[in-house]
Structures are given as C-alpha cells and as structure tokens.
Structure 1
Amino acid sequence: MRQLLPISALLLGSAFLLFAGGINSLILPVRGNLEGFSSMSLGLLGTGWALGYVAGCILSATVVARVGHIRAFGVLCSIAAVSMLGSAILITPWTWIILRGLCGFCFAGTAMIVESWLSERTEPGARGRVFGVYTMVNLGASTAGYMMLTLGDPSGFFFFALAAIFYCLALVPTALSNTSTPTPMVSVKLNMHALWHNSPVAVFAVFWVGVSNAAFGTLAAVYAQNVGLTLTAVAFFTSIPILAGAVIQMPVGLLSDKMDRRKVLLGIAALALLADLAFILLAPEGRTLNLALAALLGGSIYAMYPVIVAHANDHAEPGTAIQISGGLLLTFGVGSIIGPTVAGWAMSEVGIRALFYVTSAAHGFVILYTLWRISRREAVADDDKSTFQPINAGRTSNLQTAKLSQNEQPETPQDGDKVVPPDAAH
C-alpha cells in the first residue's frame, strides 16, 4: 500500500483509459457489422490500430520531449475522445480505419507516459508487484468496457459518447497529480540482425503470434455475431480469451523456468492449433462450445508472447533487455498489421470461419519452425535462464512496459539506449 498510494492517480487514469478502450475496441466491429461493413474492412480496423500503435511506440518519446508528460498525456486522451466521436458521426469504413489508427497512436503514447511515471515512483524491488497491480487494473477495466455493451443498443450514439467521456476523464487524475517530474522515456536503437542471431525462434514466432493474435483480437466479435451469438455472448467471447491468457501466464511461466522454453512454446502453440481446428471442424454455433473454445484459444495465444520474450532474454547479453523487447515489439507489430488484413480478406472471400484458417496457419508455422530449431540448438541451462515475467500481450506492450517489469532497474541507460530529456517543469 505504501507503494500504491503515490501512484493511485496514475492507476485511476489508466483504468479510465482502458475502460474507454474496451468499449472502443468492441463497439466498432459490432456496429460495423450491423452497418453491413465487409469483413475485409473490419479487419482493416485492426491493421489501422497496429499501424498507429507501432508509430506511437516510435514517436511518442519525441512528442513528450517537446511538450512534457502532462501536456502530452492530455493531448493524446483528447485526440482519442475526438476519434471516438468522429467514428459516431462519420460512419464509413475508411473513416473508421483512419480514426482507429489515430486511437492506436494515442494508446501507445499514453501507455508509455503512464508506465514511465510508474517506473519513477516505484522502488526497484517492488516494480514487479506494482507492474502486476497495474496489469490487473488494466485487465479489469478493459473487461468492464467490453461488458458495458451488454447494457444497451449498439446501433445508437450512446456507447461512442460514453467512451469519449471516459477518455476525457482519464486525463483528470494525472492533470491534478502533484507527483514529481517523470523519469526520461526510453528510445532504443534496434539491431534486428543481432536480434535474429540471438534467437531466431523468438523473432520467427513473435511475428506469427502477432498475425494470429491481432487477427483474432480484431475479428472475434465479427465471427461471434455471424454465428448467431447474442450481444452478451459476443462480449463474453471477446473478454474470456484475455482473462484466460492472464490466468495461465503464471503456471506457464513456472513451467518454462523448469524446462526448455521452446518446448513450452511448442505445447502452447499445439493447444492453440487444437482450438483453431475445433472451430473449423466442429463449426460450433451454440454459446457454450464457442465460449469454451475461445477460452482455450485465448489462454494459449496470449501466453505465447511472454514465453518468447523470456526465451530471447535467455540468450541475450547483459544489459540488452530493452533492445530485445523493442525488436520483438516491432516484429510483433508488423505481424499485427498483416494478420487482420489477411483474415478480413479471407472471411469476406471464403466465409466467417476463415478467421481460424489464418490463425491455424500461423500456429502451424510456429510449431514447425520451433521443432526445427530444437533439433539445431541445445537448450539453455536452467542456471543461465532469465526470470520469467508475466507481461501484457505484445499488442498492448511498449518499451516502458519492459522497463517497468524489471525488478532491478539500472539508474543509467544501457549501451545503445537513448533517453529523452525529462520535463523541465509540469
């Protein structure tokens, strides 16, 4: 509690932001489907988000350096609210894609600002626990945002306005906070060749995980609507996978600390492929089976990313954790741009279950390449392994997430890092 009280304003602001984000991410595919948008155009919503988020991760540190943390956070929250209201007024696919990308940029920037703030306000030895609380707050807020859609009619203006209101409320706690100037934000010089040499399986797998996770995260609601699930069931169908992924991370992490992480990744990918094939072959139409398979798929796909990051860090040189996280995030982002586009096109051309053709292909590639790499390289000894850290799915992670999740944070930047000067004043 001594650690949490000084950052309560940041946690509250983040909760408001993620609550609005939960509404935003579900109302657009649901309403777009009601408006008759094609699966291709709805998949491009995810592509727009991923493009904006990657751009935000790259450019946000520069924006903060120019105007400061407080102003940057307020501006980004305001732009997110504008994008939400614009989506309610201009109901066309291409307008929504652009506005969704703008919102992705804002989310990347606000997350980096909040997390750099948390990093400064938390003692190094408590950062792991604080990060866990922060993750659970965000998870709970996002889930609450999803479930809000069960309380009204998605064809009206209400949910767009509600999300915009909470985007605006998110800036209030931080604007009124009297915390000290946040720590400098981290900007990393990436070396993708070195990252591939460090761990080919991590780079290959994280790309295809980006493809599958973004495709499912963007188009799950469209699938659920088209198989005839009620709006309440659609909300559960999109939120249960995230909850399952959060719950399974700890047992998966403990297992990966005791054996070759590549074999753990192999097992998780096999479970994901099993869920994919069940969606395709069983063609479930009822609520119970769809939700059960969604939980199995979500628990698998959202547990892969932290295992991949941990495996890459097992082979890393000391002091390169931020560079590795940045490279994996960029690779994940590229996959997140491609996945929804391909899956949306496939659903438009082949049928609604083509979503799982795309995810099953991605998971199949992960399995085959991981098997090949296991035969080519010995496993890391247990004593040489890094410590597994439960982390957000890559689509909602950034360099500040990687920094905050380190229990022992160095006071000075590592070689290859650039730091953006902190605010001169609030």
Structure 2
Amino acid sequence: MASVIKIYALFLGSALLMFGGGLQGLLLSVRGAEESFSLLALGLIGTGWSAGFVTGSLFVPFIVRKVGHIRAFSVMAAIGTITILLNLLWINDIGWILLRALSGFCFAGAAMIVESWLNEVADNKSRGTIFSIYVAINMTASTMGQIAMSITGTAGYIPFVVGAISFICALLPTALTSSPQPRPLQSARLDLKLLYRTSPVAAIAAFSCGMANGAFGTLAPVYGYEQGLDARGIAFLFAIAAILGAVAQVPFGRLSDRIDRRLVLIGLSGFAALVGALTVIINPEAGWGMYVLFAAYGFAANPIYAVAVAHANDFARDGDFAKIAGGMLLILGLGLAIGPAVASLIMGAWHPVGLFMVTATFHATLGLFAYLRMRLRKSVDAAERTPFQPVADRQVTPETLVLDPRADSDAEDAPVAGEPPVPEELIETVEGGNDVQDKPV
C-alpha cells in the first residue's frame, strides 16, 4: 500500500512539474513576441532551454551524490520557481535567454529525481505499466499547462505566478516522503560511434527531430502571434498539435512493431514535410486552416523520435540500450539547441512562415535517408523486435531511459558487484559475429 501511495505521489509531483513547464514554455514565446523581442532572441530562448536541459542531465547526478535526492530536488524546484518569477521582474531578451537556460537545468534535474524514485519502486513486471502511465501523465500535464494560458492570458503577472505555484508545489511529494533515498542517479552513458554503427537512421532521426521540433516548439507560437492569433488561440493551437501527436504514438508505434520501422519513419517524416511545405505555400491567416495544419503536423512529427528509438533498439546488443538511447538523447539535445536559432534567422530573413521551411527540410532529409538505408540493409524480423514504447522527445532524461522497460537487459547484463566486467572482445568472440548486430542498419 505504501508503494502505491508513493507512486501516485510521484506522479502528482511530475504532473505539477510538467504543467508549469508547459505553461512557461508557451508563455515566454508569446510574451516575448508581445514585448517586441527580435526573432533571433526568441529563438535563442529556446536554445537556452535545450542547452540547460542537456547540461542538467549530465551534471545533476553529481549534485545529488553530494547533497542527496530530497535536498537536490528542493533546490531545483526552488530555483525553477525563482527563475519564472524573475522572468516577470526582468523583462529583457538577454535576461530571458540566461534564465531559460537555468530553468532547463533545474527542470532536467527535478525530472530526473522524480524518475529515480519511480525506478526504485518499479520492478521488471511493473516497469512497462509505470513507464506508460508516467509518459501519459507528462504529455497530458504539459498540454494542460499550455491550455492554461488561454485562461491566464499573457499580460500582467498572473501566468507567471501560476507557473511558480505549480513548480513549488511539485516538491511536496518528495519533501514529505518517509521512504529511503533511492539509488544514485544515472549519468548519460554516451557512445555516439556505437549508435551510428547500430543504426545510422536513428542517429539522423534524433538530429532531425531536434532541429524540427525544437524550432516548432519555440517559434510556432511566434508564428501564430504574427498571423493574428491571441493567447487563447495560440494555447488551443498547441494543445491540438500536442494531443494528436500523443494519440498518434500508439497506432504508429504498434504499426512499427509489425512492419519495417523505417517505412513508418518514411511515412511520418514525408507527411510532416508535406504539411510544412503546404504551410509555406498557403501561409494561413488565423482560422480553421491553421488549426488543421498544426494538428496534422503534431500527428505526423511527434511519434518520429519514439519510433526511431525503437528502431535503434531492434539492432542493439543486450546491455547496449542505455548507451544507444543516451547517444540519441545527446544528438536530440544538440538539434533542440540549434534548431530554434537557425529557424529564427530564416524567419527574420524571409517571413515568419520560414519556420516551416526548416521543419519541412529536416523531415524530408530524414525520409530520404531512411529510404536509402532500406536499400542497403534488411529489417529485423517482427518476432525479434522489442515492443514500441511512447516517448516525449523534448523531456527525455537519462533517468527516463533507465525507467524504460527496454533497459531491463542492461540491468540483467550488468556485472555482479565484486566481479570484474567481461571484456568486450570476449563477448564479441562468444557471440560469433552476429550479422545483424555487427553491421549498421
């Protein structure tokens, strides 16, 4: 019973965290546009968030080892709260870029600690269920935070205070727990060469998703504002894209369990590129046409990263999931940081609709690359694939990867305490050069 209560408390803490994050991310883009920040500054606000998030994923584990989980989480939530309040008191483009980076750092750390507690509770039988519920809660809460902007608006202090309350309330479940400290946080185990050898398609997909979705998540609100939407309209515009994107993960994920996942990647990225191209051509004013195009974009673009992770895992050797997924996380973060800056320059040089030139370019590139790789390498048989799991690509931390049930083989293959690890060369010799594992996809 105590374990069940603890899980629900952690789910509540994660929901509050994601609610505040969804509200803050959308609010800063729209309010920044209203304050006449340059497109480059607005893009760099998104870059700051991604850079801070990746940095937090790498360095927060060291902080937790020094002061413990509860103290570290309290610090992250408190600084995150202070940061969003400083966004209100210090309305300045350079200030917001710096504060957004700090917010990303704290958000990554707080999310990792919640996930660490969930990992402590989960076992091999319940891990898949807990992971699925956790991802669903995160997606739902983030979307609800975006919708909240339709109620709070962007003017004045109310939306910033609502976000701050959400952040500070998120620390209560961990601050009030009487359970022992969970195991140490995981640092991202990175091996980019291993990732590319295992699946070049997954590596390109991670970067393409980062570039396209990073640009869209940061600057699409600015595009909506420039096209005449008010705060309510922008909030619902993003909610529709997010909801359809979350819903699409399940059918496309299950489809990718049955056919070559690269076919699914080609279809999704091709459709996302088509939507981007149509948006550039039509450049719709505020109205139903814009809602349809945004809904179609979310439906096609959001599942791509999760399918790419599953594709990489199909070809990974037992015990390599964390390294491969960690490498994808780093490449994704790089794209999320670069994408908004690149898109802001193109939007400034051409027109705000230039944002969709960026998304269309990177989705088309991914689709073409996946098609070319299909001609070079056959797929893994459906019976040998690891089942698909939904993933929210802008909120993945190293602890998310550990919670993912596909990481069970990593734990099973880990050396027993006190025993020396088995040399990599010996493992490869015993495996006898498995043709599927040893060659790139």
How far apart in 1 are the matches of 2:416 and 2:78? 30
Counterpart in 2 of 1:192?
Answer: 192
The 8 Å contact of residues 150 and 236 in structure 2, kept in 1 or not, is answered as no
Matched residue, 2:121: 121
Would you say 1:257 and 2:257 are equivalent positions?
yes
Q: How does 1:326-337 map to 2 (within 5 A)?
A: 326-337=326-337
Letter in 2 for 1:349: A
Asked if 1:389 corresponds to 2:394, the answer is no
**Equivalence for 2:100:** 100
**Residues 188 and 280 (structure 1 numbering): CA distance in 2 closer, same or farther, change over 3 Å?**
closer
Task: Tell me whether 1:318 sits opposite 2:335 in the alignment.
Answer: no
Decide whether the 8 Å contact of 1:189 with 1:323 is kept in 2: yes
Relative to 1, partners in 2 of residues 1:2 and 1:168: Cα closer, same or farther, differing over 3 Å? closer
Partner Cα separation in structure 2 for residue 417 and residue 156 of structure 1: 57
* Cα shift readout 1:232-291 (whole Å, capped 9, x = no counterpart): 110011222221111011111111011111111000001101110121112211321111
Report what 2:157 is aligned to. Answer: 157
Please, what TM-score do these two structures have when normalized by structure 1?
A: 0.94
**Which residue number corresponds to residue 436 of structure 2?**
none
CA shift for structure 1 position 412: 4.7
Partner-residue secondary structure (3-state), 1:124: coil
Name the SS of the counterpart of 1:295 in structure 2.
helix
Q: CA deviation at 1:414?
A: 5.0
Q: Which residue of 2 aligns with 1:375?
A: 375
User: What is residue 231 of structure 1 aligned with on the other side?
Assistant: 231
Query: Which residue of 1 is the match for residue 299 of structure 2?
Result: 299
**Do 1:250 and 1:390's aligned partners in 2 also have CA atoms closer than 8 Å?**
yes
- Post-superposition CA distance 1:62-82 (Å, at most 9, x none): 111111110010000011111
Q: Give the match for residue 23 of structure 1.
A: 23
Which residue of structure 1 aligns with residue 218 of structure 2? 218
Change (3 A) 1:112 1:416: farther
1:32-89 CA distance string (max 9 Å, x none): 1111011111111110001001101111111111111100100000111111111111
Partner of 1:364: 364
The aligned residue for residue 289 of structure 1 is 289
1:51 is aligned to: 51
Counterpart of 1:62 in structure 2: which amino acid? F
- When the two structures are superposed, what TM-score results if normalisation uses the length of structure 2? 0.91
Q: Are residues 30 and 75 of structure 1, via their aligned partners in 2, closer, same or farther at CA, if it must alter by over 3 Å?
A: same
Per-residue CA distance 1:313-364 (angstroms, 9 max, x = gap): 1111111111111000000011111100000111112111000011111111
Query: For 2:410 and 2:344, how far apart are their aligned partners in 1?
Result: 45
Shift of 1:411: 8.9
Q: In structure 1, what residue type is equivalent to 2:380?
A: V
Residue deviations 1:358-390 (CA, integer Å, cap 9, x gap): 111111111111111111111112222222111
Q: Could you tell me how far 1:5 is from its partner in structure 2?
A: 2.7
User: How far apart are the structure 2 equivalents of 1:417 and 1:43?
Assistant: 47
Question: 5+ residue gaps in structure 2?
Answer: 418-441
> Could you list the runs of 5+ residues in structure 1 that have no partner in the other structure?
419-426
CA distance in 2, matches of 1:2, 1:168: 24
Greater Cα shift, 181-190 or 235-244:
181-190
Preserved contact between residue 125 and residue 408 of structure 1 (Cα < 8 Å): no
Query: In structure 2, what is the Cα distance between the partners aligned to 1:9 and 1:25?
Result: 24
Shift of 1:184: 2.5
Partner of residue 340, structure 1: 340
Question: In 2, Cα distance between the equivalents of 1:204 and 1:341?
Answer: 19
Letter in 2 for 1:219: L
For 1:421, the equivalent position in structure 2 comes to none
Report sequence identity in percent.
Answer: 40
**Aligned equivalents of 1:197, 1:319: Cα separation in 2:** 15
Change (3 A) 1:392 1:152: closer
Contact 1:124 1:408 in 2 (8 A): no
**Offset, 1:406:** 0.7
8 A contact 1:189–1:416 mirrored in 2: no
Q: Secondary structure at the match of 1:341?
A: helix
Residue 319 of structure 2 contacts residue 409 of structure 2 at CA under 8 Å; is this kept in 1? no
Contact kept, 8 Å, 2:319 with 2:411, in 1: the verdict is no
Cα 1:7–1:411 change in 2 (3 A) is: farther
Equivalents in 1 of 2:260, 2:296: separation in Å? 22
Q: Which of structures 1 and 2 has the larger relative contact order (alpha carbons within 8 angstroms, sep 6+)? A: 1
Tell me the distance in 2 between the aligned counterparts of 1:415 and 1:127: 18
Q: Distance in 2 between matches of 1:389 and 1:153?
A: 35
Whole-angstrom CA distance in 1 between matches of 2:26 and 2:174: 26
- CA separation in 1, counterparts of 2:230 and 2:158? 19
Structure 1 CA distance, aligned partners of 2:164 and 2:415? 39
CA distance in 1, matches of 2:147, 2:368: 37
Matches within 5 A, 1:405-416: 405-406=404-405, 409=408, 412=411, 414=413
- Give distance in 2, aligned partners of 1:11 and 1:28: 26
Give 1:140 deviation, angstroms.
Answer: 2.2
CA spacing shift, 1:286–1:86, aligned 2, 3 Å:
closer
Q: Tell me how many residue pairs correspond in the alignment.
A: 417
Q: 1:94 to 1:414 in 2, by over 3 A?
A: farther
Within-5 A mapping of 1:6-17: 6-17=6-17
- 1:4/1:130 contact within 8 Å kept: no
Cα distance change of structure 1 residues 240 and 187 upon mapping to structure 2, 3 Å threshold:
same
CA distance in 2, matches of 1:107, 1:233: 27
Deviation at 1:189, TM superposition (A): 3.6
SS of 1:156's equivalent? coil
Could you tell me which residue of structure 2 aligns to residue 202 of structure 1?
202
In 1, Cα distance between equivalents of 2:69 and 2:13: 14
